[in-house]
Structure 1
């Protein structure tokens, strides 16, 4: 009996020790506020021309200028409205930028009147974040002032509102024989298609290269949690690479590029952009070869991702065109999978940060989505997932609990061995091992079900943390966001007292579900008598309540999973032990735990 308790304590302590190392020793770092200088920079035009190669140095302003409010920045240029079932906003005729997007399906908070999530912001505003497409000169006498820049005044050639059913076409005549056009289309979700063309009415051939840029001015506010990547993400011929914002200033400096640059040549297919926790803006060329570039400019605090396609020659009297895509929206798994399948965008679904345990997080997310499709509630889906996992692991759990039951039956024999061995530890261990071998008992078997929960626990945490489907997903009653902690608190009797307890740290101000987690963990313990060793008994007694407070600030969905797991484990263990002829005095163990015991004098 004592060995069983020791194994259970060891396994439980080990599992939560790993959790502590992960979440306590490496907590999320506080995000430093953006400096005023960072907020006030802006990007004015695309940049300088290098020699006749497909290189863009990147446009950065020579000096810092005051940043405008978002409303003021939007009013600085004529605009074309963007209206889709998933997006609302506008594109600027100055520069032809897509720089104003709100996500109509997502709000900042749970409040019905909460503002929509804003993804893109216009150039010149605080936190400017936008996409721009254009052409660069690649020799043949073409100069920078003959190609469109970030300040080019585009004219509307067709269309007055960009919708899924009505693309718009912008045009600009450079006055020197080249007519540039952009046809911009959008689907019902978040995918833009930008088709650029150049009509050459001069008497000679010209060489140009098409490009696309996604720019962010100033380092954006991030969660800054090490288990989540936020920053540059790129896919190059099947390989996913990530680059944090704070790593970009450490890239190799290029005088020709005018900043710190990392360029990757892509042979067949790829994409590049910026990813946040739930949102992403990504440039997607149709096919290779092309170059993807991540760049940082210190003088304007500008972060850029670029695609640069090979130069093309436009003969006199001819027209050439280039088509690329731009994704700007929510990282919904089903939608990303659909784009990956239908548009051939390789590994697009892996823009979601699945983490080290991707082989678990992906199927867990998939199962949650399947269960939710049938039930319509992600909280219930988490409980069904728990049942599924427990059923999957039942054969192992059965062997484990049978082994534990055999260990209990061997308690009388084990006590006799201890009496015979006395203080001879070697004799005790030898005879114990002979007994285990004779009875075919594995004393460590009781640890396995708990230890197997560690990667599952981590994976579910990751899914709840990064999957947008969990964002603001309701359960029942007071839990209206499974990705956030239980909002109730024992400090005000779970809302019965009219006291604001928002001042209290989450590790103290725990809610109903964390308390249920502690209670169900305590119930599991009461399937066995308390250890006779006083130190073990004390650890055993305090463990449920320590971890109740420790995990109280975790996502409610994760705590619901733990409650369901504890409850199912309790039922499994009770029934299996009874089936093996072991007497389980649950209520007797509960009663004895409340009895005050006198300390035994030291021998």
Structure 2
């Protein structure tokens, strides 16, 4: 077999390895199923309660180490409606649970007929997910003396929770303790829960207020994608923690013993809850209020739970005590969450998964969001962001591309060196180094733009994949969701025929790629033509294949990311073209030199 065939086979094998490796570490995300379309037959509800964390009282002082809550498999109790500008649902009077919540502004798919997104779900339905509040009994009180998950509260028959009309729930234990719970909601996604107790028992009582978030099983639409965090998210006195559902096994508990639960003592401020790809529910105690943040998993019933347990209150006879907490339940909108952070919820913007490169992802998204607000089109905003990034790195890129232009100029002399050196690689390397030194060329300088692009590319990929603002964001024509892969392909004549392309996870998606990946491959090939070719034939072959390998690799990635890459390649091509002109070259669009001059000479007018 001759060297050319060997090099071709080697280049093909290397490209295949790159392709397989890329799909191993960057698999295309699965389509998000509609939460409202889950089959009822898929549900296996617990028969003996939903959430469990028995209260424990320390000797001599009631100090709730955990909370005890149970919920029946079916809930037919009366409900209080929720109707705000962005939320709708209801509160069950059994336990006063906030367990039925949908987001008015978001649909499951881009189809106008699609149902809106449902975030919280009552017990008895698939993947029950809810928030509840109560009091853990201390010394002298039993579990039946305080309100829990099965307590039937009373409310006004015509009560509806709106931003203008809070709802007050009441319950009397019949033994001298009366409880009230006032729930209010703002115009976005924040609930406020004010709990109060009045003691008329004739003696002091001790009890601890708590809040709980519980979800039955992992989310149906769990991505399990390494670049995205889904699961527990917690801020405790300035320290952010994230725990995936698969790692909850580290604090699995028995329903009767919560000693293995993870407990974090928070002194001043924090929050804890569950985050999904685009949605989140979070318990937020008042700032300055110490509490314990608890996370646990009951494997027997497959229930994930987070609790906030406030310090025990001792309430004298004839006295009252009150506590206030907040509940965020909604979409992880950057502007909304940032506004809540400015209002006093410390570190709340970090509930969005910015990743390891947060020093890049945060400012990149802030600028992208500003550009989108200014332009009104996220795809155009991505292109504008690309231009801004290229302007910022222009000084470094100019130096690098100047070096590459000089390398291109030396290409004929390097070919002569190869002919003179023959198979003597050592001699060839030595003479090349002497040539570089003589011409003051740094061959490594051409790597700088690539080194800069890698973290920027990954950060932008993270931003596009994780942030809600890219979800269902339109560009133009058939590109109506920049967080989804290119919907066009040869299969539907690039959007001219009224049927969808193969699903991203399908092997056919590797072949039937869309317009954007093709433009990516062409732009990458054109940009590469302006670079000096490697002297090694194998490297030349690999580089020749690279644009087309990337074309297929990125075919199933988010359209917004491919738009960025096309814009980046196009701008880079223009930059290199102008720099080559400044060095006496007039290359055509394929990188071939049509006219050249000695350095230092002024190009003739064309």
Q: TM-score range by the shorter chain?
A: 0.7 to 0.9
Contact 2:291 2:311 in 1 (8 A): yes
CA separation in 2, counterparts of 1:385 and 1:77? 52
**Shift, 1:586, TM fit:** 3.7
TM-score when scaled to structure 1? 0.87
**Shift, 1:77, TM fit:** 1.3
**Shift, 1:23, TM fit:** 4.4
Decide which of 50, 54, 73 is 2:56's aligned counterpart.
50
**Shift, 1:507, TM fit:** 2.0
**1:596 equivalent in structure 2:** none
Tell me: CA distance 1:400–1:256, structure 2 relative to 1, closer, same or farther (3 Å): same
**1:574 equivalent in structure 2:** 577
Tell me: CA distance 1:45–1:383, structure 2 relative to 1, closer, same or farther (3 Å): closer
**Shift, 1:170, TM fit:** 0.6
Tell me: CA distance 1:373–1:520, structure 2 relative to 1, closer, same or farther (3 Å): same
CA separation in 2, counterparts of 1:531 and 1:235? 50
Which SS does the other structure have where 2:209 is aligned?
A: strand
Moved more, 405-414 or 81-90: 405-414
**2:182 equivalent in structure 1:** 183
**2:393 equivalent in structure 1:** 393
Which SS does the other structure have where 1:110 is aligned?
A: coil
CA separation in 2, counterparts of 1:548 and 1:194? 52
**1:551 equivalent in structure 2:** 554
Contact 2:194 2:324 in 1 (8 A): yes
Tell me: CA distance 1:531–1:423, structure 2 relative to 1, closer, same or farther (3 Å): closer
CA separation in 2, counterparts of 1:54 and 1:472? 45
CA separation in 2, counterparts of 1:371 and 1:444? 35
Contact 2:488 2:500 in 1 (8 A): no
Tell me: CA distance 1:206–1:89, structure 2 relative to 1, closer, same or farther (3 Å): same
Tell me: CA distance 1:163–1:29, structure 2 relative to 1, closer, same or farther (3 Å): closer
Say how many residue pairs are matched.
Answer: 567
**1:517 equivalent in structure 2:** 520
**Shift, 1:149, TM fit:** 1.4
**1:199 equivalent in structure 2:** 198
Contact 1:100 1:121 in 2 (8 A): yes
CA separation in 1, counterparts of 2:278 and 2:95? 28
**2:455 equivalent in structure 1:** 455
**Shift, 1:44, TM fit:** 5.2
Contact 1:157 1:171 in 2 (8 A): no
**Shift, 1:346, TM fit:** 1.1
Counterparts in 2 of 1:20-99, with a 5 A limit?
A: 21=21, 23-25=23-25, 27=27, 39-41=44-46, 43=49, 48-51=54-57, 52-59=62-69, 73=75, 76-99=76-99
Tell me: CA distance 1:417–1:589, structure 2 relative to 1, closer, same or farther (3 Å): closer
Contact 1:122 1:129 in 2 (8 A): yes
**1:291 equivalent in structure 2:** 292
Tell me: CA distance 1:300–1:424, structure 2 relative to 1, closer, same or farther (3 Å): closer
**Shift, 1:158, TM fit:** 9.0
CA separation in 2, counterparts of 1:34 and 1:461? 33
**2:6 equivalent in structure 1:** none
**Shift, 1:539, TM fit:** 3.1
Tell me: CA distance 1:187–1:486, structure 2 relative to 1, closer, same or farther (3 Å): same
**Shift, 1:261, TM fit:** 1.1
| Cα-to-partner distance string for 1:258-317 (whole Å, 9 max, x where unaligned) | 474111111111111111011111101103311000011123221110000000111110
**Shift, 1:48, TM fit:** 3.8
Contact 1:15 1:451 in 2 (8 A): no
**2:160 equivalent in structure 1:** 161
CA separation in 2, counterparts of 1:468 and 1:449? 30
Tell me: CA distance 1:393–1:377, structure 2 relative to 1, closer, same or farther (3 Å): same
Tell me: CA distance 1:496–1:105, structure 2 relative to 1, closer, same or farther (3 Å): closer
TM-score when scaled to structure 2? 0.87
Counterparts in 2 of 1:321-470, with a 5 A limit?
A: 321-342=322-343, 344-418=344-418, 421-470=421-470
CA separation in 1, counterparts of 2:499 and 2:370? 40
**Shift, 1:25, TM fit:** 4.0
**2:471 equivalent in structure 1:** 471
| Cα-to-partner distance string for 1:80-100 (whole Å, 9 max, x where unaligned) | 111111100110111111111
CA separation in 2, counterparts of 1:560 and 1:29? 18
| Cα-to-partner distance string for 1:339-374 (whole Å, 9 max, x where unaligned) | 1111x2111010001111111111111111110111
Contact 1:386 1:561 in 2 (8 A): yes
Contact 2:100 2:120 in 1 (8 A): yes
CA separation in 2, counterparts of 1:291 and 1:22? 42
CA separation in 2, counterparts of 1:341 and 1:16? 49
| Cα-to-partner distance string for 1:369-401 (whole Å, 9 max, x where unaligned) | 110111011100000000001111111111112
**Shift, 1:490, TM fit:** 1.3
Contact 1:15 1:454 in 2 (8 A): no
**1:273 equivalent in structure 2:** 273
Which SS does the other structure have where 2:91 is aligned?
A: strand
Contact 1:41 1:218 in 2 (8 A): no
**Shift, 1:199, TM fit:** 0.5
Tell me: CA distance 1:132–1:18, structure 2 relative to 1, closer, same or farther (3 Å): farther
Contact 1:46 1:150 in 2 (8 A): no
Contact 1:60 1:300 in 2 (8 A): no
**2:215 equivalent in structure 1:** 216
Tell me: CA distance 1:416–1:506, structure 2 relative to 1, closer, same or farther (3 Å): closer
CA separation in 1, counterparts of 2:453 and 2:346? 32
Tell me: CA distance 1:58–1:136, structure 2 relative to 1, closer, same or farther (3 Å): closer
Tell me: CA distance 1:298–1:83, structure 2 relative to 1, closer, same or farther (3 Å): same
**1:5 equivalent in structure 2:** none
Cα RMSD of the aligned pairs, angstroms, is 3.0
CA separation in 1, counterparts of 2:412 and 2:513? 43
Structure 1 gaps of 5+ residues are 1-12, 592-603
CA separation in 1, counterparts of 2:391 and 2:426? 41
